[in-house]
Amino acid sequence: MINEFALCAREVSYTYRTRLERIAAATSLSCRLEAGKVTAILGRSGSGKSTLGLLLAGLLKPEAGAVFFTNGDRSSPEAVAYLFQFPEQLFSEDTIEKELCKGERNRLEMAKDALQSVGLESHNFLSRNPFEISGGQARLVAMAVQLARPFRAIIFDEPTTGLDWTMRAHIRRLIRKQAEANKIVGLITHHLTFAASVSDSAVGLNDGRIVWEGDPKQLIDNAKIRKELGL
């Protein structure tokens, strides 16, 4: 069943430019991320996964094509939460409460709820320094920072990097919880097993182009496509 509300990319292209070269990171990419589902964005390093994610989140502006919600609104960082690969590296405050609220006291209750949603008790963490907690806890706090604000869609960029299997299972539950709340969820990863365990559908990228779409579980036994995607 197709969900009517979705985040769509239509024929989007993007080129990174340096003094010496131009790198086509996305070429005529089209995809649809539906509310209530997890859509995996798969491929090897350099395939264009993160570029597509940043375009979907409105953090990059496409040189061609468009990114939009099916209600007609354009994608924007205000509407799409983006969790970078090492989000804990973006901490800048001396308490977790300040990280979650960023000076807006009326967000405190939402901040507490966000901590609770990632499995952290607010009374144990709000007053703590985010630079003095474990790596796994820091990753969860960084997720809570994104969850503490209103959003229509959320994109996780390699959320399990550097985490043990216990934390990966916890992250999997968090991702599914967002889909169950009817959010639009994108998952950027090169870990096929994790993608197959949490995603409803997937697109596969190679050299900035979408070369495969379908159920990620189908890739487990498809060595040819896995090789093309570098999985």
pLDDT tens digit string along 133-172?
887 888 888 888 888 778 899 999 998 887 788 888 888 9
CB-side neighbour CA atoms (13 Å) of 147? 25
* CATH fold for domain 1-79+151-231: Rossmann fold (3.40.50)
How does pLDDT run across 198-207, given as a tens digit for each residue?
Answer: 999 999 999 9
Amino acid at 78: E
Q: Where do the structural domains in the chain lie, given as residue ranges? A: 1-79+151-231, 85-150
Distance of alpha carbon 2 from alpha carbon 36, whole angstroms: 10
Average pLDDT for residues 118-136, to the nearest whole number?
83
Lowest mean pLDDT among 9-18, 31-40, 53-62, 87-96: 87-96
Q: Are 112 and 120 in contact (CB under 8 A)?
A: no
- Paired residues of 155 in beta bridges: 82, 186
